[in-house]
Amino acid sequence: MDWLVAIAEFLVNEILSVPAFLIGIITAVGLIALRKTTGQVIGGAMKATLGFLLIGAGATLVVASLDPLGVLIQAATGAQGVIPTNEAIVGIAQSEYGAQVAWLMILGFAVSLVLARFTPLSYVFLTGHHILFMATLLTIVLASAGYNGTITVVLGGALLGILMVSLPALAHPWTRRITGDDSVAIGHFGTAGYVAAGAVGRVVGKNSRSTEDMKLPESLRFLRDSMVATALSMVLMYVVVALIALGRVGQEEAFDAFGGAANVGNYLMLSVTQGLQFGVAVAVILFGVRTILGELVPAFQGIAAKVVPGAIPALDAPIVFPYAQNAVLVGFVSSFTGGLIGLAVLSLWLNPALGLALILPGLVPHFFTGGAAGVYGNATGGRRGAVAGGFVNGLLITFLPALLLKVLGDFGSANTTFGDTDFGWFGILIGNGAKIGSVGGLIVMALLGLLILAGAMLMQKRVVDTHWDPAPGRELPGAATAAAPSAGAATTATYPKITPPKGAPTPPPPPER
């Protein structure tokens, strides 16, 4: 049996957990189904893989540029506590539960394909690293509750497969509001935050103009370029925080954020450089998104026709970034602000009263989930929606991880935890259900999975398929912005929807003004 475990671990760790390879394989399958030539199949698969590698490269640059800022913020505020980091908690769990995670992930992916084929939920979840994260969470929760390996893998795999087709459906009315069509869905376990952002945006954003419709004086016209605006905003944030940290803790500790800066001038210029690198990172991500969409969407026509009729690819959170690039920055800042306020609530009330851990606002989850939440909030409520949506997301990814620690057993004291919203609410429900007892817990968890599946199918039939609009009366916000030919293209005012040609999700660029 050791060789079977080795094969499963290889598939999970070297292929399925690497989104670029998974996307390339799916693209190749779709192009083969479309009877493309060998050269077209290889070229399309390579471009899709390279697109995801570009997203990964951009994400790496984002992390590298945000790490020093996190150190500076901690020095400036004095906050101490748990920092939710999905990769860290997964790495810790792999040494103990690696084989179970591997089998659970493979089974979950297979269940999701079966459900996509034989239910109305025709979504194929392609965010491989998030599949691995959720598989690890389910393994930790079930194993910590005392269930043996077989039950953990079978039940966990079924629950994972259900989530992979259900959550994209639950969010799809808001995703379609952003993209303007059904070419892609959101496949990211921060879905609850995005739905909440879209719902809140509709409530608070009546008559609020889009974040992409910013009228600037002629002298500030350069800020219409999203890469410039993003970089400049991060430079200002970096310099302000760096100065506060320098005044609070002194040169020696503040300089440690950059590995020990030589002097104050060097320290401040390093802050400026990190802010500029953040702008570059976002540009790389946006270019990668456009590259992969150009190959994956046509390939999915083949999958829809041959394997899963009507299949819609469910992709990572940055897939919505090009549709409202200003909203990404607004959502990030608002989400981080919500995280800081949530931390204050935890430290002043919930920690003394309930013993909940202090959750520090990690900049990486706040950027990716907060940025996406800003796009969802903007789609239904314009600027106010982007601010409120990001803020609500920030509160959710602060309070939910604090509650989740209670059901992670020994891993609850690991000084890190899962960060995104769906890990929080689902892990809490499953963990508390498992505490009921062996048989009772299995029944409760199975019923929970069936309830989510039934709710998603009802949502698909009654809401998605009827083309319910979560923001009636508002112009579609994203089509023109997503059309920019390069990652650094300027963002302009909202334009009426432009229907893209079949197989190409990005419409032509907006006219110059």
Written as tens digits, the pLDDT of the chain (513 aa) is 677 777 777 876 777 666 678 778 878 888 888 888 999 999 988 988 888 788 778 777 877 887 888 788 778 767 656 878 787 788 778 778 877 887 898 789 889 989 999 999 999 998 878 888 899 899 999 998 889 989 999 999 999 999 999 999 999 999 999 999 998 999 999 999 999 999 999 999 888 999 888 665 666 666 556 677 778 878 888 898 899 889 988 888 888 888 877 788 888 899 999 889 888 887 887 788 677 767 776 776 676 667 788 889 999 999 999 999 889 989 999 999 999 999 999 988 998 888 888 888 877 789 899 999 999 999 999 999 999 999 999 999 999 999 999 899 888 776 678 989 999 999 999 999 998 878 899 999 999 999 999 999 999 999 999 999 999 888 765 444 444 333 333 332 232 332 333 443 443 343 333
| pLDDT value at residue 448 | 97
The closest of 377, 300, 298, 293 to 332, measured between CA atoms, is 377
Q: Of all helices (H) and strands (E), which one includes residue 295?
A: helix 264-306
436 φ, ψ (degrees, to nearest 5): -65, -35
Burial state string for 268-279 with b = 16 or more CB within 10 A and e = fewer than 16:
bebbbebbbbbb
d(CA 69, CA 262): 18
**Do 381 and 330 meet the contact criterion of CB atoms below 8 Å apart?**
no
| pLDDT value at residue 225 | 67
Question: How far out from the chain centre does Cα 262 lie?
Answer: 37
Q: Give Cβ neighbours of residue 25 (< 8 Å, ≥ 6 apart).
A: 15, 45
According to DSSP, the residues that pair with 359 across neighbouring strands are 82
d(CA 87, CA 198): 27
Q: Is residue 497 part of a domain?
A: no
DSSP, res 437: -
Question: How far out from the chain centre does Cα 313 lie?
Answer: 15
Q: Give Cβ neighbours of residue 412 (< 8 Å, ≥ 6 apart).
A: 405, 406
Q: Is residue 225 part of a domain?
A: yes
Q: Is residue 502 part of a domain?
A: no
| pLDDT value at residue 464 | 96
Kindly state the tokens that stand for 369.
């989930």
d(CA 240, CA 242): 5
Residue for token digits 């912005």? 481
According to DSSP, the residues that pair with 312 across neighbouring strands are 123
One-letter amino acid of 193: G
Q: Is residue 492 part of a domain?
A: no
Q: Is residue 500 part of a domain?
A: no
| pLDDT value at residue 476 | 66
Q: Is residue 130 part of a domain?
A: yes
According to DSSP, the residues that pair with 82 across neighbouring strands are 359
Widest CA span in the chain: 69
**Do 267 and 473 meet the contact criterion of CB atoms below 8 Å apart?**
no
Burial state string for 214-252 with b = 16 or more CB within 10 A and e = fewer than 16:
beeeeeeeebbbbbebbbbbbbebbbebbbbbbeebeee
Cα pseudo-dihedral 454, 314, 300, 179, rounded to 10: 110
Q: Is residue 499 part of a domain?
A: no
d(CA 1, CA 12): 17
One-letter amino acid of 256: D
The closest of 427, 426, 403 to 354, measured between CA atoms, is 403
* Number of compact structural domains in the chain: 1
Kindly state the tokens that stand for 324.
């409202």
d(CA 509, CA 490): 10
Q: Is residue 183 part of a domain?
A: yes
- Half-sphere exposure of residue 110, counting CA atoms within 13 Å on the CB side? 11
Domain holding 229, by residue range, is 2-483
Q: Give Cβ neighbours of residue 48 (< 8 Å, ≥ 6 apart).
A: 23, 24, 26, 27, 291, 292, 295, 296, 299
Kindly state the tokens that stand for 481.
């912005």
Residue 494 burial (CB count, 10 A): 23
